[in-house]
Amino acid sequence: MPVEVAGLDETLFSLKNFAPDLYREMLEKIQPEMARISDTAKGMVRARVIGLDTGWSTQGKEAKSRTERKRGFPKYDAFKIRKGLGYSLGTTKRNKSGFVQTFILQNHSAAGAIFETGGRKNPNGRSAMMSLSEGKQGKVQGYEGTYKSNQQFLKRKTGSYGSNNPFAGYQFVQALNNQQKLVSIGKGRKRQGRLMYKAFYDDQGKVQDAVMKAIDAAKLKWTKRVAGASYKAFEKAA
């Protein structure tokens, strides 16, 4: 879940290829700013998630998948989550307008991604029950939504979602929100998070300003260097 900090144009693409010394100088200015945000996010990772101590936060073997996925639901591991928080300096891509280069804040671990984004789609977790009915042997059956079968709409039992606890989604997201609510850094739910996004939000644009200043300084030096070389070539020709 990358948090893009800045993009570059073809001028800096040229700088990377024809003036590597200026490009390295630029990265040396950007790197500590990116590291600062990453370190702030790492400081937000607690040893456990209160409210999930008997499940997700419990250390031990990772649960086996109850679906066809090769791996089960990843355990919360503060060490792995902190280790997975980092950044990427200057990834070059081509788009319709030319070359774009991004400096990205990253959250690599599976558990870290879950903590970062849990509840984006359903802020209160998936609703546990939409209706109830009395089942066999006096038990109560919960239902969530409907599904179509043989041209009929039938109520979907909560048990069909593969969880022993029909309230699991709600309880999980509430525990995450109690520890840290989702913070938005732009429009849309994909711009929300609890670690990197929160650190970026709290920084109030300082890292973005620092990156742009480093970029502008490198571009100015490159422009002057090219202008100087052109003038020398003109003098020589004259």
Between 151 and 114, whose confidence is greater?
Answer: 114
Q: Are 72 and 64 in contact (CB under 8 A)?
A: yes
Taking the CA atoms of residue 214, residue 217, residue 220 and residue 221 in that order, the dihedral angle to the nearest 10 degrees is -100
Lowest mean pLDDT, pick from 20-34, 37-51, 141-155: 141-155
In this prediction, residue 1 carries a pLDDT of: 47
Mean per-residue pLDDT for 193-216? 92
Query: 150 pLDDT band (50/70/90 cuts)?
Result: confident
What's the predicted TM-score (pTM) here?
0.76
Between 105 and 140, whose confidence is greater?
Answer: 105
Query: Where do runs of H (alpha helix) occur along the chain?
Result: 10-18, 20-43, 78-84, 110-117, 168-179, 196-202, 206-237
Mean per-residue pLDDT for 186-200? 93
Residue 178 phi, psi dihedral angles, 5° rounding: -65, -30
> 12 exposed, middle or buried (CB, 10 Å; 0-12, 13-18, 19+)?
buried
How many C-beta atoms surround the C-beta of residue 55 within 10 A? 17
In this prediction, residue 40 carries a pLDDT of: 97
Identify the residue whose tokens are 């849990």: 118
Which residues, listed in sequence order, are joined to residue 85 by a DSSP beta bridge?
107
| Triad 27, 30, 35: Cα angle to 5° | 115
Query: Percent of the chain, pLDDT > 70?
Result: 65
Lowest mean pLDDT, pick from 51-65, 92-106, 203-217: 51-65
How many C-beta atoms surround the C-beta of residue 43 within 10 A? 12
Mean per-residue pLDDT for 101-112? 88
Mean per-residue pLDDT for 212-216? 89
**Model confidence over 33-86: pLDDT tens digits?**
999 999 999 999 999 888 886 567 655 566 565 555 566 778 899 999 999 999
What single DSSP character describes residue 180?
Answer: -
Q: Has residue 170 got a pLDDT over 60?
A: yes
In this prediction, residue 55 carries a pLDDT of: 65
Q: Has residue 135 got a pLDDT over 70?
A: no
Quote the CA–CA distance of 228 and 204 in Å, as a whole number. 38
